């Protein structure tokens, strides 16, 4: 009786200690879960509205059917996305496997044995039956009763990892759509720069012809012709680099779409305008990032998984209860096999409590807590990175739009400068150097405008990606 009382008291003390530690650790974990508060609002700007968007197919707002089809093809064929789907299936299988711990294990065994013994090994005064046979069939059950939550916590850990894998899939989806849109935007930027170069080549060729005519009539020296040719051929020399850049962008897009470049090139080689980049963007309030961005949701699920693993490690300190049983038949004679007298059974409730195992369980608990702390910090870092990405994309997009507006006015004045300087040159009232400067400036400003337009589109795509890239799960 004394030993029984001591066992009960020890069990109660251990339970109280474990539950107290669970509560204290949970409070500490909650206090550290978000070390940095989210900003209340983004910096105000007339280009942004802090409300939730309506739909999640954000790329359709560019009104480019070809881009829509490219993203659809990428979602079907991209290998990174398909591998992410495979990881979901793996995590789901692990989760289902952990659920099996709640159910009893049932096994069946049966056999028949016939044996003949040697007559020369016996020294009996009377004859014996040298041939014996034995038949048995038995069904057994082994069931761990999850009193202290060991199985439950491990199942929860695998369940949260399964949920995290789904969020990782969403994150890959967001990244893929953004990469396709960004690659498409860069392709159209290069194509527009090629058009700018070709237009300037045509204009410079006409001006070269004017200088040759004036040289042939003796109005100017050959220097004007040489300078005009220098500008003309330098602009032509920029075309091969642009062509190579266009080819490389098509190759990059083909990888994202899971296609060979030869399949995609006929579709994209023809130049087209940049998609519409001037928009009023719904960015939501900063707190919405916590439920919009898949990477933040995945990090949150991972933290929950490791928190459950800590609970499972603590439950290993406590006893485990098993219910074992079996029922079957055994008989020497098959005629009596299913007779009541051949019935066998066993019922064996069991308690298994490892009181000492070196420091194995202590170190396992420390490792689980360290993993949880690491993932809490990773969660906080993910939130900070998300805020930074949104801020950078917003400032970049706003700056690009302002740059586009300014460059358009610059180009208007640059075109006027070229026209006036060329008119004065034809009249012999100004040197050809003014025309050369105007040509170079116009080409540079036009390229800058196309780059700024492409940059604005890229920043807009980055912004969509930074605030959730489609607001999956809304």
Q: 391 near 464, Cβ under 8 Å? A: no
Q: Residues with Cβ < 8 Å from 97, sequence gap 6 or more? A: 158
CA distance 345 to 336: 17
Q: Residues with Cβ < 8 Å from 339, sequence gap 6 or more? A: 331
Q: 429 near 449, Cβ under 8 Å? A: no
Q: 270 near 190, Cβ under 8 Å? A: no
CA distance 220 to 214: 6
How far is residue 216 from each of residues 180, 209, 365, 433, measured CA to CA in Å? 54, 11, 93, 19
Residue 128, pLDDT score: 59
**Tokens in use for 323?**
């219910």
Residue 107, pLDDT score: 87
Helix extents (H) in 257-325 = 261-268, 289-292, 294-315
Question: What is the domain partition of the chain in residue ranges?
Answer: 28-102+149-318+360-466, 105-116+129-145+320-352
Residue 41, pLDDT score: 55
Fold of 105-116+129-145+320-352: Outer membrane efflux proteins (OEP) (2.20.200)
The candidate with the shortest Cα–Cα distance to 179, out of 461, 400, 470, is 461
How far is residue 14 from each of residues 65, 322, 351, measured CA to CA in Å? 66, 20, 16
Residue 19, pLDDT score: 44
Fold of 28-102+149-318+360-466: Outer membrane efflux proteins (OEP) (1.20.1600)
**Tokens in use for 23?**
């509560």
pLDDT tens per residue across all 474 residues of the chain:
454 554 444 455 444 444 444 444 444 444 444 455 656 555 555 444 434 343 467 888 888 999 999 998 998 888 888 898 898 899 888 888 887 887 788 888 888 887 777 766 655 555 556 677 778 888 888 888 877 878 888 888 888 899 898 888 888 888 899 999 999 999 999 999 999 999 999 999 999 999 999 888 888 888 989 999 999 999 999 999 999 999 999 999 999 999 999 999 999 999 999 998 887 766 666 666 667 788 888 999 999 999 998 988 888 888 888 888 888 888 877 777 788 878 888 888 888 887 777 788 888 888 889 989 999 999 999 988 988 888 898 889 999 999 999 999 999 999 999 999 999 988 888 898 999 999 999 999 999 999 999 999 999 999 888 887 654 333
Global confidence as pTM: 0.77
């Amino acid at each position: 009786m004394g030993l029984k009382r001591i066992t009960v008291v020890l069990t109660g003390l251990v339970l109280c200690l474990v539950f107290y530690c669970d509560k204290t650790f949970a409070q500490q974990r909650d206090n550290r879960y978000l070390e940095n508060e989210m900003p209340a609002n983004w910096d105000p700007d007339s280009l942004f509205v802090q409300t939730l968007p309506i739909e999640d197919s954000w790329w359709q707002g560019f009104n480019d059917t070809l881009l829509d089809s490219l993203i659809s093809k990428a979602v079907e064929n991209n290998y990174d996305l398909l591998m992410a789907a495979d990881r979901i299936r793996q995590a789901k299988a692990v989760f289902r496997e952990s659920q099996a711990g709640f159910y009893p294990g049932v096994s069946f065994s049966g056999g028949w044995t016939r044996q003949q013994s040697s007559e020369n090994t016996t020294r009996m005064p009377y004859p014996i039956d040298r041939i014996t046979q034995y038949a048995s069939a038995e069904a057994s059950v082994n069931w761990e009763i999850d009193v202290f939550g060991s199985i439950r916590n491990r199942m929860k850990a695998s369940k949260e990892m399964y949920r995290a894998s789904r969020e990782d899939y969403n994150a890959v989806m967001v990244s893929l759509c953004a990469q396709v849109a960004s690659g498409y935007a860069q392709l159209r930027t290069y194509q527009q720069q090629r058009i700018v170069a070709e237009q300037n080549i045509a204009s410079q060729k006409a001006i070269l012809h004017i200088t040759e005519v004036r040289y042939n009539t003796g109005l100017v020296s050959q220097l004007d012709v040489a300078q005009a040719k220098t500008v003309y051929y330098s602009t032509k020399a920029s075309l091969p680099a642009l062509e190579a850049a266009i080819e490389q962008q098509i190759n990059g897009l083909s990888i994202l779409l899971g296609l060979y470049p030869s399949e995609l090139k006929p579709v994209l080689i023809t130049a087209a305008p940049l998609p519409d980049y001037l928009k009023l963007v719904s960015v939501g309030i900063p707190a919405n990032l916590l439920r919009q961005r898949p990477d933040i949701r995945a990090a949150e699920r991972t933290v929950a998984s490791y928190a459950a693993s800590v609970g499972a490690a603590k439950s290993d300190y406590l006893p485990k209860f098993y219910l074992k049983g079996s029922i079957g038949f055994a008989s020497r004679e098959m005629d009596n096999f299913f007779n009541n007298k051949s019935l066998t059974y066993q019922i064996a409730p069991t308690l298994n409590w490892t009181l000492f195992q070196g420091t194995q369980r202590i170190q396992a608990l420390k490792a689980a807590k360290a993993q949880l702390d690491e993932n809490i910090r990773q969660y906080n870092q993910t939130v900070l990175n998300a805020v930074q990405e949104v801020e950078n994309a917003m400032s970049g997009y706003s700056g690009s739009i302002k740059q586009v507006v300014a460059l358009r006015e610059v180009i208007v004045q640059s075109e006027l400068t070229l026209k006036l300087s060329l008119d004065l040159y034809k009249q012999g009232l100004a040197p050809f150097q003014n025309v050369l400067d105007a040509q170079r400036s116009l080409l540079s400003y036009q390229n800058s405008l196309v780059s700024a337009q492409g940059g604005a589109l890229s920043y807009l795509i980055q912004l969509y990606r930074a605030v959730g890239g489609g607001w999956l799960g809304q």
